[in-house]
Amino acid sequence: MLRFHNTLTRKKEEFKPLISNEVKMYSCGPTVYNYAHIGNFRSFIFVDLLRRYLKYKGFKLNHVMNITDVDDKTIRDSLKDGKSLQEFTQHYTAEFLSDLKTLNVEIPEVMPKATDHIPEMVELIKTLKEKGNAYERNGTTYFSISSFKDYGKLANLDTENLKKNADGRLNSSDEYEKDDARDFALWKPWEESDGDVFWETDIGKGRPGWHIECSAMSTKYLGETFDIHTGGVDLVFPHHTNEIAQSECAHCKTFVNYWLHNEHLFVNGEKMSKSAGNFFTLRDLLEKGYSPMAIRYQFIASHYRQQLNFTEDALKQIPQTLQRFYDFIDKLESLSAGEENSNVSDLITVAKKGFEESMDDDLNISGALAAIFDFMREINKLMSENKIGKSNAKDVLHLMNEFNQVLGVFDHEKGEIAEEVEALIEQRQEARKNKDFAAADKIRDDLKEKGIILEDTKDGVKWKKIN
């Protein structure tokens, strides 16, 4: 039975999608004003593990992740760069997608941009106004928090306290124009500092607030009620709290059935910040020579609801772990005939069950990895005793491949360099055939320098990557 911890109820609940074999899921995506940092990638890799496991369980997936390409930061920094908002955000969107690919993160089915959905946001704001949940002051349209009695249920907020705090925080003059200090902006009027970024609409010339974007786009692609909404814990309040308020007031329906939030990432035990010198983008770590799969593995291997302390010391250990997977798979692939063993299918059953029971329990990754390592240990033992046949090996490889569809860490790098290496091996064979041994040796040495070792076997040339 698949169960997830639901932030809304603070309990693990059995997962039952609205349509029995389909999952409709929304994840808050990046604001594209800079390169994403590793704290962001923790969220996106958690979502990747979730979507891969849902697919493994046989669900058809409709997964939406928005791109926030208009807000204070994108406007401010595009002006600073002297670029149009579109040109500026397109660049960072492309970089973001390229980073996802590097980390072997699957691209969601739909990735809508906020600026492509202004009419949908305006419609939603108009509905909220008609229903008495929103009001306008000096060009700004605000959501009226007192109009929604369930406000704050996701974050378990005491709304009276929230009101007092908000009143206490009042400092800028424009805050006083709101009916209630807690109210938040749905639509902001154009100001000179916005440059040429504005939309002329029925609710005025201006641009949308951030929260309305996710309510409008999730409804467009997933419907008024959908199954799963994800994000980092820092989004529970106010962002997700406000999404619920907007959507439930507009549609009079439950917005989302399961809310899944991943915990923060710390670096060397501290909150990541540029001033503390522990702020990393993906490219910072790649430049230091860490492999994308090691980074992915470090994120995946700790449970999403636990705080993750990212350290370079831990990252340095991971290639050894990955090498155990690679060696295991290499050994199975190059296995010469041994006796077929009927115990192997039992080991496969046990491993699969252990993996699934753990993952079903709110993606308990430690349990799932333990099931895989136990299985590898048993199979390695049988291989060393020559008690595994070719057909056994095929079954084991099939299972490892299934696990890897969820984890996405075993053979990605090998796959990426495989084409290049295979082509060079072919050139080397050609050179040898022509008795050009100097050229053949050079290819071998060049590969060795890149950490690729060739072995001439009776079944042809085999290669492996060493670290």
Cα(207)–Cα(73) distance, integer angstroms = 13
Contact between 30 and 66 (Cβ < 8 Å):
no
Q: Helix (H, G, I), strand (E, B), or coil: what is residue 225?
A: coil
Cβ closest to Zn ion, residue 89 vs residue 392: 89
Cβ closest to Zn ion, residue 211 vs residue 444: 211
Cβ 26 to Zn ion, closest distance in Å? 8
Cβ closest to Zn ion, residue 162 vs residue 214: 214
Angle at 278 between CA 272 and CA 281, to 5 degrees: 85
Cβ 214 to Zn ion, closest distance in Å? 3
Cβ 169 to Zn ion, closest distance in Å? 23
Count of CB atoms situated within 10 Å of the CB of 170: 11
Q: What single string gives the DSSP state of each residue in 162-219?
A: HHHHHHHH--SGGGGGSSSTT-EEEEEE--GGGTT--EEETTEEEEE-HHHHHHHHHH
State the DSSP code for 253.
S
Structure tokens belonging to residue 324: 């155990």
Cβ 107 to Zn ion, closest distance in Å? 18
For 288: left if phi > 0, alpha if psi spans -120 to 50, otherwise beta; the answer is alpha
Total interface residues for Zn ion by CB under 5 A: 2
Which residues from 184-243 bind Zn ion, rule CB under 5 A? 214
Cβ closest to Zn ion, residue 251 vs residue 432: 251
Cβ 378 to Zn ion, closest distance in Å? 45
Cβ 235 to Zn ion, closest distance in Å? 7
Cβ closest to Zn ion, residue 259 vs residue 326: 259
Cα(301)–Cα(371) distance, integer angstroms = 13
Would you say the C-alpha torsion 414, 417, 420, 421 has a positive or negative sign?
A: negative
CA proximity to 50, closest of 402, 304, 355? 304
Site string for Zn ion, 17-36 (x = CB under 5 A): -----------x--------
Cβ closest to Zn ion, residue 182 vs residue 211: 211
Cβ closest to Zn ion, residue 28 vs residue 32: 28
Cβ closest to Zn ion, residue 72 vs residue 395: 72
Cβ closest to Zn ion, residue 102 vs residue 242: 242
Cβ 237 to Zn ion, closest distance in Å? 13
Query: Which ranges in 337-364 belong to alpha helices (H)?
Result: 343-360
Which residues from 348-407 bind Zn ion, rule CB under 5 A? none
CA 69 to chain centre: 18
For 277: left if phi > 0, alpha if psi spans -120 to 50, otherwise beta; the answer is left
Which residues from 312-341 bind Zn ion, rule CB under 5 A? none
Cβ 239 to Zn ion, closest distance in Å? 6
Q: What is the dihedral of CA 182, 187, 192, 197, to 10 degrees?
A: 140
Cβ 27 to Zn ion, closest distance in Å? 8
**Binding-site ranges for Zn ion (CB under 5 A):** 28, 214
